[in-house]
C-alpha cells in the first residue's frame, strides 16, 4: 500500500516525538511492504517565525493533498505568555481544523498493568480500563453566535441532526469492533440540544441492534469516570462536554505521554498526541514519544491497516512490560526520547 502523509512537527518537543513515530512507521514499511510518502510542512510558532503565518497556504495545500496528517505540537512561551500577540500559534491549529473539516475528536483511554501505580486513582479502579471518547468538534457552544450587550453576555449552543449523525455513525461503527456498547453523555433533562442528540442517536442506534446504547447526564458521567471507569467502551458526546470529560479521563493512565488522539475530517484526518509542546523539555531528549507513536497506529487503522496498527500497540505494551520507558514512567530502565523509537521499531521487526 502507498499513502501520502503530511508531517507537521510544530513546536517544542513536537519534532522530537514525531521523529520517533517516523522510525516506527519505517519499521512498518519494511515489515509489511508498504510505502509512506512523507512531506514536511510548517505550523505554529515556527511557521510564524519563518513566514508570519501560523498556517501557511503551502502547509494547508500539503495537508489537503495527503491521505492523513501526523501532527506534533504547537506553542511557544513567547506567544503563550503574551495574550495580546496579534498572531498566535493556536490560530493555525483552529484554521487547520476548520479547513480540513475535522468534525470528530477520538481519544482512547487505555491503562497498562506496569503503570497502574502512576495513576491518582486506586489500582483496583483502573485495572483493565479501555475506552474511547468520541467528541463532536465543530458545533455546539464553542461555535455558536456569541457576544455582549451592555452588562449581558451570551454564547449560543446550536446543533443540527446532520452534525450529530455523522459522529454517531463513527461511534457505533467503532463499538462494533470493540465491546459493542455506546454511552451517550448529555444534559437532556435541561438542554434542548441534548434532547435533539438523544432523538438522533436513538434513531441511528436502531441500525445497530448488536450494539448496546445507554445514557448518562454529564455531571453523573464526570463522577462515573472516576468511580467506575472500566464500565465504559465508547463514550459519545457533544463538543464542550467532550472537551472537559476527555481531559478528566486523561489523568487515569498516569501520564499524558501515553495518550494518542485522532481528529476525523470530511477531507482528511489528523493524528496527534494530546500533550502540548512542553517547551521546558525541548532539546533535552526526555519527552515521551509513545503518544505520538500510538497516534501513528490510529492513522494506520484509518488506512484499514489494522494488523499493522495492532503490531505497534503490542510493541509499545511489550516495551513497557519489559520495564523500559522515559523518566516520568518510573520504570527500571530509563530511556531517552530518541531511544524509544529505536526500541519499538526493533520490536516491530522482531515480531
pLDDT at residue 13 is higher than 80: yes
Q: What is the CATH number of domain 1-105+261-351?
A: 3.40.718.10
- The reported pTM is 0.93
Task: List pLDDT tens digits, range 230-239.
Answer: 999 999 999 9
The C-alpha cell at 159 is 446543533
In this structure, how many other beta carbons lie within 10 angstroms of the beta carbon of residue 128? 10
Is residue 240 within 8 Å of residue 137, measured between CB atoms?
no
Would you say domain 130-251 falls under CATH 3.40.50.2300? yes
DSSP state at residue 214 = E
Res. 223 pLDDT band, cuts 50 70 90:
very high
- The predicted pLDDT at position 84 comes to 78
- The predicted pLDDT at position 267 comes to 84
pLDDT > 70: what percent of the chain? Answer: 100
- The predicted pLDDT at position 54 comes to 96
Q: How far is CA 106 from CA 122, 187, 343, in A?
A: 25, 21, 27
pLDDT at residue 266 is higher than 90: no
Task: List pLDDT tens digits, range 119-145.
Answer: 999 999 999 999 999 999 999 999 899
Task: List pLDDT tens digits, range 36-57.
Answer: 999 999 999 999 999 999 999 9
Query: What does the alpha-carbon distance between residue 58 and residue 72 come to, in Å, rounded to a whole number?
Result: 18
Task: List pLDDT tens digits, range 306-348.
Answer: 999 999 999 999 999 999 999 999 999 999 999 999 999 999 9
- Which runs of consecutive H residues, i.e. helices, occur in the chain? 14-32, 45-51, 57-64, 77-80, 89-100, 123-126, 161-176, 192-205, 218-227, 239-249, 290-302, 306-321, 337-350
CATH 3.40.718.10 spans which residues of the chain?
1-105+261-351
Active-site annotation, residues: 142, 187, 219, 243, 247
pLDDT at residue 290 is higher than 80: yes
pLDDT at residue 295 is higher than 80: yes
- The predicted pLDDT at position 81 comes to 82
Task: List pLDDT tens digits, range 145-155.
Answer: 999 999 999 99
Res. 80 pLDDT band, cuts 50 70 90:
confident
- The predicted pLDDT at position 94 comes to 86
- The predicted pLDDT at position 351 comes to 86
pLDDT > 90: what percent of the chain? Answer: 93
pLDDT at residue 32 is higher than 90: yes
CATH 3.40.50.2300 spans which residues of the chain?
130-251
Average pLDDT of 13-23? 98
pLDDT, the chain, mean: 96
DSSP state at residue 111 = -
Average pLDDT of 89-97? 90
pLDDT at residue 83 is higher than 80: no
For CA atoms 78, 81, 87, 89, give the dihedral sign: positive
Task: List pLDDT tens digits, range 171-211.
Answer: 999 999 999 999 999 999 999 999 999 999 999 999 999 99
Amino acid at each position: 500500500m502507498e499513502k501520502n502523509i503530511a508531517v507537521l512537527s510544530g513546536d517544542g518537543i513536537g519534532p522530537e516525538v514525531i521523529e520517533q513515530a517516523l522510525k516506527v512507521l519505517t519499521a512498518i514499511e519494511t515489515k509489511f511492504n508498504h510505502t509512506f510518502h512523507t512531506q514536511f510542512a510548517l505550523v505554529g510558532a515556527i511557521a510564524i517565525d519563518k513566514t508570519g503565518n501560523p498556517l501557511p497556504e503551502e502547509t494547508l495545500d500539503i495537508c489537503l493533498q495527503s491521505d492523513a496528517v501526523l501532527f506534533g505540537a504547537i506553542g511557544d512561551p513567547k506567544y503563550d505568555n503574551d495574550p495580546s500577540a496579534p498572531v498566535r500559534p493556536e490560530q493555525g491549529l483552529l484554521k487547520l481544523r476548520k479547513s480540513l473539516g475535522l468534525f470528530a475528536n477520538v481519544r482512547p483511554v487505555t491503562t497498562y498493568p506496569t503503570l497502574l501505580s502512576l495513576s491518582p486513582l486506586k489500582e483496583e479502579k483502573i485495572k483493565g480500563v479501555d475506552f474511547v471518547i468520541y467528541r463532536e468538534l465543530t458545533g455546539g457552544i464553542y461555535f455558536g453566535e456569541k457576544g455582549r450587550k451592555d452588562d449581558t453576555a451570551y454564547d449560543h449552543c446550536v446543533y443540527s441532526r446532520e452534525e450529530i449523525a455523522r459522529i454517531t455513525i463513527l461511534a457505533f461503527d467503532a463499538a462494533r469492533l470493540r465491546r459493542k456498547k455506546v454511552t451517550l453523555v448529555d444534559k437532556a433533562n435541561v438542554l434542548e440540544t441534548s434532547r435533539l442528540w438523544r432523538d438522533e442517536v436513538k434513531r441511528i442506534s436502531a441500525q445497530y441492534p448488536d450494539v448496546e446504547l445507554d445514557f448518562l447526564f454529564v455531571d453523573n458521567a464526570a463522577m462515573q469516570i472516576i468511580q467506575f471507569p472500566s464500565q465504559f467502551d465508547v463514550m459519545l458526546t457533544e463538543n464542550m462536554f467532550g472537551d472537559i470529560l476527555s481531559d478528566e479521563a486523561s489523568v487515569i493512565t498516569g501520564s499524558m505521554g501515553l495518550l494518542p488522539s485522532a481528529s476525523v475530517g470530511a477531507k482528511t484526518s489528523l493524528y496527534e498526541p494530546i500533550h502540548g509542546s512542553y517547551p521546558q523539555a525541548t532539546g533535552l531528549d526526555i519527552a515521551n514519544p509513545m503518544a505520538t507513536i500510538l497516534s501513528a497506529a490510529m492513522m494506520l487503522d484509518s488506512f484499514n491497516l489494522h494488523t499493522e496498527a495492532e503490531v505497534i500497540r503490542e510493541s509499545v505494551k511489550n516495551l513497557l512490560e519489559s520495564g523500559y520507558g522515559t523518566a516520568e514512567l518510573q520504570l527500571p530502565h530509563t530511556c531517552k526520547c530518541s531511544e524509544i523509537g529505536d526500541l519499538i521499531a526493533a520490536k516491530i521487526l522482531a515480531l
